[in-house]
Homo-oligomer: A and B are copies of this chain.
Amino acid sequence: MVTNIVQEGLDAVEKQLRDIVNSDVDVLQEAGLHIIKSGGKRLRPQLGILAYLAAGGQDVERVVPMSAAIEMVHTATLVHDDINDHSLTRRGQITVHARWGRTFALLAGDYLFTKVYEMMAPYPSEYNVIMADATTKLVEGETLQAAAAKAGNMDRETYKSIISRKTASLFEAAARMGAMLADADEDLVESLATYAYNLGLTFQIIDDILDIIGDPETLGKPVGTDIAQNRGVMAAQNGGTAVKETAVAEIEDDPIAVMMANLRESGAVDVARMQAEETAKRARAALVNVPSSPAKTEMEALITAVLQRQN
């Protein structure tokens, strides 16, 4: 039942994402649609819709542009990330950067960013403040990650700050705005925002674990990218030093493959999984005071799905 309403909302989000990319400049149109059509989990817009419904919202159309804008922020940063990471595939498809080159990928990412604000413009100021703040945090998180990787000093605190900003902030903003659009009271808004924030942390830790132990076929992207760049949860578990030591010791083999094998056996994955279970527990706890509803049940199920996902 609720699943149908959520699906309706997600379909409308999908349509809006495609409709808003409407440039007469061919490369922006093609590159924009390419990244949007390559899909993704659409978890962030799903959170916007679920928080709205869990807070008693009745007209799902109200959260569609906001939820689409949230997904568009994420999409725009993916295009720029892939430039900086020199990634060739994303979601099983060639990246914008690999297909259209760096110059057009940079501009296509900028273009998608401008579309975020086109979608957000109709909402009142407080929503635009939340969106601007979450987007700033996202860029800061990406920057902290690049800086830590470059300096080779990824510790647990830095890692936490990175995933909080680059992932959890946008999850939180989606749920916060969804709840606000349903005119939820302050406590309910905070509960749903806290849930989403912790779900975001869980999601990112699992994402980083999958970079080590995941199956590239299932993931639709190469694994080991984070290790190669001395970043992510495993670098954090190892104080940012294990990677470099291993690289020096085992230079005669494929260094990335060797590092990944070592990390798998080091117990670092188990520690990371424990952290993910802890943040998942906090997400669950945040829902305690949220009134029962089909949307709440779906939000609880989402925690389990995020913890157990294989791609």
Contact = CB atoms under 8 A, between A and B. Distances in A.
Interface string A131-149: 1110110011011101100
A23 B147 CA distance: 14
A77 B113 CA distance: 12
Interface in A158-216: none
Given A83-B106, A110-B113, A28 B140 contact: yes
A129 B125 CA distance: 13
Nearest to A150: B103
A118 B124 CA distance: 13
B28 A139 contact: yes
B146 A132 contact: no
- Chain A's interface size range is 35 or more
Contacts of A144: 25
B110 A84 contact: no
A121 B132 contact: yes
Contacts of A139: 28, 107, 110-111, 114
Interface of A: 23-28, 77, 80, 83-84, 102-104, 106-111, 113-115, 117-118, 120-125, 128-129, 131-133, 135-136, 139-140, 142-144, 146-147
7 contacts: A27-B143, A80-B106, A103-B146, A111-B140, A121-B125, A122-B125, A123-B125
